[in-house]
Amino acid sequence: MPIPTNYPINYLSTCLMIRDRIVARDSMPEISISRLITELRVSLSLTQEQFAARIGVTLSTVNRWENGKGKPSPLAKLRIEELQRELKQDELAK
């Protein structure tokens, strides 16, 4: 799946802010994690289904995360962080 090329001007700072919040995820309430996942997905202009495919989970899993009815597993958190790093590198390469 291609990476969107229509990033907002402040995309990089938003990505870094989200990454920093996810890194501190263990000390944060679950609702904050759901909001961060939503913010990341929306900033990438991805549907829940597209985001799920990029992370390697199902659409219903992403939906549960965003609605605060579940939280990402440690592996899913790593994949989210990897996606952020990949996108950051692509943005820096432009």
pLDDT digits (tens, 9 = 90+) for 9-36: 555 566 666 666 665 555 545 557 888 8
AA identity, residue 65: W
Region of residue 62 (phi > 0: left; psi between -120 and 50: alpha; otherwise: beta): alpha
What lies within 8 Å, CB to CB, of 77 at 6+ separation is 22, 25
pLDDT score for 36 = 84
Average pLDDT value for the chain: 78
pTM above 0.85, yes or no: no
Fold of 11-93: 434 Repressor (Amino-terminal Domain) (1.10.260)
Domain positions in the chain are 11-93
pLDDT digits (tens, 9 = 90+) for 44-84: 889 999 999 999 999 999 999 999 899 999 999 999 988 87
